[in-house]
Structure 1
């Protein structure tokens, strides 16, 4: 892999807004929060949007756009805090992987103390968003911190770190529902399970980029676990996600517009599986990022159905 220019991160798109416009002093912190790679907070945000749409149909109330904006801001803040914590924990591993050794901590741009202060600041920003919701939602939001805390350690002890990422990244499916309905219910639980399966699938694709380095340094992943059967592995979890999402929607009885528009995210899942290339890192990254558009499509299906 070609070495990145000084200060930049190897797996960020060249010419991103952080590289081009951010003040030099802020760049390492924004990169540590992955603000030069928005796909992370996008994927954290979409389960929140799914459940807002689901709850809107279930309660026969207008879609809450204000809550959608709050969840988006919260996703950026908490994704940033989580990534900073992950970089603190994984600093020795990141230094041994070609894709990650240019990150701010292993490259020496940010100290552990500075990173810790930045992590706390972002967590407080996320808390300021969370307290805008009802008590149940606040408690669910706080509970997610336990999953965030344990995730970085999972790649050291299990071949299923993607499962733990799914547990954490999909939590918004519960939080978004309680923000509208005030209490948890089966549609949200089933949606949560579907999002977990989706996360395992797309993060397995993502992990294919690092599989050679992971083998050398002993980091575990579902990509390593699946091996040459990775296409079938991803297909299984994507199929589970599709079925669980369909059941979740069926429980709130949407109309025909949802089921017609639901074909779009199903098509995106099928396309990823059909065109997956295990040893093509660039294509794996493209497939991984395409899940942002799947999030757009599923949210649109729920919102349009509510409007119609």
Structure 2
């Protein structure tokens, strides 16, 4: 008597949606969260209160998840040619483009609901943040270093945090955004180095391709500019010894990243990218501990 083969497992809609928003890969939203929380602490001169902490923590998670939905729809024809992304729900056809956009819209509306509990200035800035989030996936078609666009998108929680605390966005917020954008350039170039061979075949524009053999030096420089800008911007507000300790810990991580990416292996570059949230946490811890 022949044994009956088990039926192939069909993922539930919920599991597909969780895969769509990269729920099992929290490093993505942590990259947005740490600089946003750092800005909250700086703007408030200390603990910003449970309300704003909850709004920006959950809002960051929701907007990053919504961004994944839009990104996967925009890149579905490219992702099928990249080994690492070929099985994403939209690319593989398990989730339709309409369904993915609907999930993204619900998540974005939930995030907007949280913003509505802040103030009018922050609500206004949220529309600019949404516009940049929607623009980024399409920048990869026309901009030679789309990671710069992502740098602004992934740093926009900084001016919004200042706005929520102070009702306005001071120059300090824009300086911190600029510095953070260099961090995004660093880690997203590492990410792009993983897929460089595939991206060259399909005509995708990335900083890893634009920089060529200068990629490792550029990534290292981006990290150093990020740390220099934040140190300069915060120096008069922090305990120098405590901030220096955090800075040394961050610089040690930059050196480690250099060792991971210098041979340009997929494994090394991906490991470097995934470890970046620890650098963000290090600076956040430095801000919390060192604020005078």
Could you state the TM-score of these two structures normalised by the residue count of structure 2? 0.91
Larger Rg: 2
Q: 1:10-42 CA deviation, whole Å, 9 max, x = no partner?
A: xxxxxxxxxxxxx72211111111112111111
> SS of the counterpart of 2:24?
coil
1:203 pairs with one of 188, 193, 208: 188
1:114-129 maps to which residues of 2 (within 5 A)? 114-129=99-114
Identify the residue that residue 50 of structure 1 maps to in structure 2: 38
1:27 pairs with one of 9, 15, 18: 15
Q: 1:62 to 1:92 in 2, by over 3 A?
A: closer
1:95 pairs with one of 77, 80, 84: 80
- 8 Å CA contact 1:47–1:171 kept in 2: the answer is no
Query: Moved runs in structure 1, 4+ residues, more than 6 A?
Result: none
Give the CA deviation at 1:262: 2.7
> SS of the counterpart of 2:193?
helix
Aligned Cα root-mean-square deviation (Å): 1.9
Residues 1:175 and 2:160 are matched in the alignment: yes
1:163-242 maps to which residues of 2 (within 5 A)? 163-242=148-227
How many Å separate the matches in 2 of 1:7 and 1:89?
A: 28
> SS of the counterpart of 1:157?
coil
Q: 1:155-182 CA deviation, whole Å, 9 max, x = no partner?
A: 1112211000001001111111222222
- 8 Å CA contact 2:216–2:261 kept in 1: the answer is yes
Q: 1:108-147 CA deviation, whole Å, 9 max, x = no partner?
A: 1111221121111111111111112122122112211111
> Please, which moves more after superposition, 169-178 or 245-254?
245-254
Identify the residue that residue 29 of structure 2 maps to in structure 1: 41
How many Å separate the matches in 1 of 2:48 and 2:239?
A: 14
Q: 1:31 to 1:7 in 2, by over 3 A?
A: farther
- 8 Å CA contact 1:162–1:199 kept in 2: the answer is yes
Give the CA deviation at 1:187: 1.7
**Residue ranges of structure 2 left out of the alignment (5+ in a row):** 1-7
Q: Give the total of aligned pairs.
A: 285
Identify the residue that residue 291 of structure 1 maps to in structure 2: 276
**Residue ranges of structure 1 left out of the alignment (5+ in a row):** 1-5, 9-22
Q: 1:33 to 1:94 in 2, by over 3 A?
A: same
How many Å separate the matches in 1 of 2:278 and 2:50?
A: 19
- 8 Å CA contact 1:87–1:105 kept in 2: the answer is yes
Q: 1:211-236 CA deviation, whole Å, 9 max, x = no partner?
A: 01101000011101112221111122
- 8 Å CA contact 2:257–2:272 kept in 1: the answer is yes
How many Å separate the matches in 1 of 2:252 and 2:165?
A: 29
Q: 1:277 to 1:198 in 2, by over 3 A?
A: same
